[in-house]
Structure 1
Amino acid sequence: METLKPGTALFTGPSGAVLRDAAGELFAIALSDEAIGGVRAALTRADAPVPPELAAFDHAGHLGPRPTWPVGRRTVAVLSDHRPEISDALRRAGAKPVVLPPDADLDAVLDARPAALCAWHDGPAPERWVEFDALAGHGIGWQRISREGRHVLLEPIGVSHRDVRARRLAAAGSGHRHLAAYWAGEHAVLGDETPDPAELLLVAALAAKDLARWATGVPASGNSLTPDVVPAHRRLRVLDLDTGAIADHPVLPVPASAP
């Protein structure tokens, strides 16, 4: 039995059938009541005949099941400071997380043979994460989540950690030395900034969603409800834990310098 794509709805409007597509757009359907009745039956009953009008819905991309995590990409290695939230969220999303020690090196990750590595650090990103940039050469996705004060940063899977650091230092302008010193964390006195359980669940859900989009390869596209969508593999996402606000920043790899 065919089904409408998740987020799509076929309903009766003031002057006939209306379709809300998965992007949130509304369209009047120019079909007779009889034809719409046949479409509704085919979408709700396994024993109903398939009317020819249903092909138009399929051709327009309104039919299909929810994407699931591909079997070949289900194994995800996790470095998570001994916190279970990331692993639990990945498991619920359809992945098969394999937890590694926080001090695991590149060889240990490769030995696990994952499709991707997800690293979470409750503080500024460790510089040693640069070591794992080599995973891209092995066809392994490389996701990083870190926290700076009350801001969580979800780095783009398609851009190396080294390049994200370089882009952020360049964007800091004359303050780049202060940012580098903050990352180093020497003699730092901190306020109470640790995420609470609800905030950790939010971070984990966002991280799992990004990896799921990467695993399924479903492209991101903007629409009237979310017009400024940036693909997760090219986007640095900043989550403000105090307000729940999310800011997405496009990030491109740093070109190789000429000799």
Structure 2
Amino acid sequence: MSRSQLAPGVEVVAVPGRGLAVRTADGEFLSVRVGEADQDALLARLSGAVTDGPDAELDRLVRAFEDAGYLAERPRHAAWPAGRRDVRLVGDCVLTGPLAAYLRAAGAEPQSAAPEEATDGQPAAVVWCLDGPVPQGLWGAADRLPERGIAWLRCHREGWQAYVEPLAVAAGDVTSAHVRARRLAATPAHRELDAYWIGPRISGESFRLETPAAGLLAALLADDLTRWATDAPDTGGLPARRRLRRVDLRTLTVTEHPVLPVPDVAPMPEKAG
């Protein structure tokens, strides 16, 4: 007996008069040539049902689905390891509230904490969420958490744009300081952006995150942390530890940008004489 199952997001449909087609996780439709195999048996196998007896043609088709990446490689919902369940949430409750709910549902044990208490007891991870720009130097100490074996994840809002920064889990990963440096280097308005971060700023009518926007940001953070905790593979083209996500809060559109650590600058040699 053997068992196979389609990967999440992949579906197979019977097209009248044309046989089977697979809808990929990217939304494309591809024809499936079943040859001499029994179509119903193939559908049963791909739905996860157990089939009896060897069937060379059916096995060949299933291997083709596997080679194309259309079969599930592991259980979809891996258990959250006990050693990584202690997650401290710092920052604004409009974001930490829904994030805590998502993390509990995934199997973590999140706790709200003040910044100065976030690392008490050596948690597995610290997540800091701000419903506004990051004050100068606020995350400087937290950027060193990965060196202590504590995963470090954060997000913040700048007007109608929010940023979910890369997950840092080890020394040498992307820190908030690296993200700032990369963003300054990538824009011709680097002086203006730097001044915006430092402040002071004069804003229009104040607003807070709406529930859908806060839920989206919390879901992105929870997904990154869950994949790290359960060693699940990344989705999409960029790994979570090298990905900056920008969220347009007006349209809830998410765009991804690659970001790398900024290497330390070697000290200038002393002049002789």
Q: CA offsets, 1:100-154, max 9 Å, x none?
A: 12x335xx4252421x221101111232212111122233321111011121111
- 1:214–1:233 contact (8 Å) kept in structure 2: no
User: Size of the alignment, in residue pairs?
Assistant: 247
Q: 1:43 Cα deviation (Å)? A: 4.2
Letter aligned with residue 100 of structure 2: S
SS of the residue 1:124 aligns to: coil
More displaced stretch, 142-151 vs 240-249: 240-249
2:127 aligns to what SS in structure 1? strand
1:218-258 CA distances to partner (integer Å, 9 max, x unpaired)?
1334xxxxxxx433321211111122232322211111112
In structure 2, relative to structure 1, the CA distance for the partners of 1:254 and 1:9 (3 Å cut) is same
**Aligned-partner Cα distance in 1 for 2:220–2:263:** 29
Percent sequence identity is 36
Greater mean alpha carbon deviation, residues 194-203 or residues 43-52: 43-52
Asked if 2 retains the 8 angstrom alpha-carbon contact of 1:78 and 1:118, the reply is yes
Q: CA deviation at 1:2?
A: 3.3
Take 2:120 and 2:243, find their aligned partners in 1: how far apart are those partners?
25
Cα displacement string for residues 31-88 of structure 1 (whole angstroms, at most 9, x for unaligned residues): 2464332222334575542645245134443322425354254432211323412211
Structure 2 letter corresponding to 1:119: W
- 2:91 matched residue in structure 1: 80
Question: Who is 2:12 aligned against?
Answer: 10
Are 1:168 and 2:205 matched, yes or no? Answer: no
The CA distance in 2 between the partners of 1:18 and 1:247, in whole Å, is 30
Which structure would you say has the larger Rg? 2
> How many Å separate the matches in 2 of 1:200 and 1:219?
22
Give yes or no for contact 1:69–1:95 (8 Å, CA) kept in 2. Answer: no
| Cα distance in 2, alignment partners of residues 119 and 69 from structure 1 | 24
Distance change (3 Å), C-alpha of 1:79 and 1:34: same
Indicate if the aligned counterparts of 1:8 and 1:62 stay in contact, CA closer than 8 A. yes
Q: Using the TM superposition, give the Cα deviation of residue 177 of structure 1 relative to its aligned residue in structure 2, in angstroms.
A: 3.6
Residue correspondence of structure 1 range 1-259 to structure 2 within 5 A? 1-13=3-15, 14-32=17-35, 34-44=37-47, 46=49, 48-49=51-52, 51-52=55-56, 53-54=58-59, 55-56=62-63, 57-64=65-72, 65-68=75-78, 70-71=80-81, 72-83=83-94, 84-101=97-114, 103-104=115-116, 108-109=118-119, 111-114=121-124, 116-126=125-135, 127-158=137-168, 159-173=174-188, 175-186=189-200, 188-215=202-229, 216-221=231-236, 229-259=237-267
**In 2, Cα distance between equivalents of 1:163 and 1:59:** 38
CA distance in 1, matches of 2:48, 2:252: 41
Q: Give the SS at the match of 2:4.
A: coil
Residue 226 of structure 1 corresponds to none
For the aligned residue pairs, the C-alpha RMSD in angstroms reads: 2.7
Which segment is superposed worse, 232-241 or 10-19? 10-19
More deviation, 132-141/155-164: 132-141
Say if 1:77 and 1:112, in contact at 8 Å, map to a contact too. Answer: no
Distance 1:67-1:185 versus aligned 2 partners, 3 A rule: same
TM-score w.r.t. length of structure 1: 0.81
CA distance in 2, matches of 1:230, 1:238: 14
Q: Which amino acid aligns with 2:8?
A: P
Return 5+ residue gaps in structure 1 as ranges: 222-228
How far, CA to CA, are the matches of 1:6 and 1:156 in structure 2?
A: 24
Extract unaligned runs of 5+ from structure 2: 169-173, 268-273
Range with greater deviation from structure 2 (235-244 or 34-43): 34-43
Q: Distance in 2 between matches of 1:45 and 1:164?
A: 43
TM-score where L is the length of structure 2: 0.77
